Chains A and B, each alone.
Chain A
Amino acid sequence: MKPMHLSDAPGKVSLPPFIEERDSQTLLAASPLLTVENLCLTRGESLILDHVSFSLRRGATLGLVGESGAGKSTIALALIGLLRPPEVGLGGSFALDGTGELADATDATWLGLRGRRVAMIFQDAAAALNPCFTIGRQIMTPLRRIMGLGRSAARERAIELLESVGLNDAPARLSAYPHQLSGGMQQRVMIAIALSSDPDLLLADEPTSALDVTIQAQIIRLILDETRRRRASCIFVLHDLALASQCCDEIVVLYGGQVVETGPSRVVLEAPMHPYTQALKGCVLELDTEALTPLPSGAPSFASKTPGCRFADRCPRALGKCAAVKPPLAETRGRKLACWNPL
């Protein structure tokens, strides 16, 4: 049973200041939609994801943050079943509310889930849209195949969707090819395609990193508005902590495929306890930043077989045991933290 349909709330709804509204709504819907437990992903000898655990409530937004190579996109691809054995090795478990275990799900199971329950917005809309087909064809395909609509119903719904993501002159846009649209418009089309089959979980992999700042604000706002309206959940993959603090309820900080700190974004980002979270925060430029405190270079290597914390060799607070014993992810002051020597 879908909680709300697009046509129930046509046009733009003016929303009260969004943080308050979101908080009240997440309180109403606190059942977990997604649970990920000890997810491990291996590629050859390398351990790309190392016992990643988190859960996501219905209606909440979660941000996966970290440097490149932290495994953010890998998690997103695994959650939509695009990284599966035999290409990679999967261990642990993850499941959506109402589905069985998905770590070893079959092709048939995924075909039933992709689009219907989980949809993805990719980073590079220009590359994700097929240049050979019109926008209309690309948005109507899931409507017809997944939602089972007829040709004219699909067309109507496509126009409705394109209008809801702020594309003006939608009927004419149906026959446009991706290259005829600007980057922001392409990203809107991809959001419309992702939303077309009313998924419960939307995965947005750096949806705005190729866009201008004013367009970035529009797109983030659009994703938040649309997911909230459908009471869907959203996972953002981001590298900008400031942006993450603005659009995510929960945050998962990843380093080298390990979760180092996770919890409500206010708690984690206002007073980070893991030295890595603190260091990432120190790299964010704000308008009044006087001096940056860059991390020493040396991105984590997946080949490293260090038994301990992967951040230890860059960490200013590392102790002797950090490199030897992996710290457990334990509940500390309103968050979960994996560190032997927290701030």
Chain B
Amino acid sequence: METLRDALDFSDFSRAERVALVLFSLLLLLFPWLGTGSFVKTVVIQFLLFSLFGMGWNTIGGYGGQVELGKAQYVGIGAYTVALMMVWWKIPFWISMPIGVLIALGYSFIIGYPLFRLKGHYFAIATICTSLVLQDIFINWKLVGAAKGIELPIHEHPDFLYMQFKSDTYYFYFIMALFYAGLVYMNWFRKSKLGYQLRMIKDDEEAAQSLGIDARWCKIKAYSIASAFVAVGGGFLAVYNLYIDPYSVMDLDLSIKIALMAMLGGAASMWGPIIGAAFLVPLDRFLGSWLGGQRGLIGVDFMIYSALIMIVSAYQPRGIWGIVEQFRRRDR
């Protein structure tokens, strides 16, 4: 099938990129046996998870050029669906996750339809609004645990039906598999008709319209894809942490982090979100653990984060990958 072939075909990347990808993958595969501590393992798992989030965001935010800051609501939808289905009806992960994705897709279409009448700043603010509204509803909704959140019951390990494991290694390979699934999907996406059309919309929406592209509908489609991606990650979070609440999975800060990582790494590129996550996740965790331990320094990690955001915005909006591309073009 052409789709599968396209998805697995990385040949239009440079040699250097392909080699790097292979090395990186090997490293990941062998990682659990490299004898690093559990802290590093959690960081790597977080890195893979945020890469997944970032790739999803990239679909609409990077390639589509629509900066949206409300991804967290879909993380929440994914996480809550898995959690609630397990707690209420003992439904295994492999069924609740796809349902979570479907709900996310449905919700994104409903919201997306009015949302994409907006552009630019108005759009960005509106995405924040929708996320805040959902979070507020969940905080006050007793049925889903309100602010206390949901605790998932612990099963005998290892449990492949409900995806619960004692050792992080299982989770590691799980998120790695999801990561590669996402990567392959993105590879297909950027070569697909929708991918091309979306990039055209970003470049010049008026011209795109003149080429038979229904811009609004394309954006909605991309937005929904992004939401599905992110919901998958949310489902993972639920079974990994075994505890979720509206503050940890639906927060505005989460949305910002996701968008920021993709932007820092270089939006609108395959590797951008991954690079961004590779930078920021360790930074976030190490800063957090180093500074957080010292009481007087709450929030310094975020300060550094935000200073970074400002600097990048002011001087290199195209992110790290943007710098790489600039060098490449100069050589031509």
Partners in one complex: no
Interface of B toward A, CB cutoff 8 Å: none
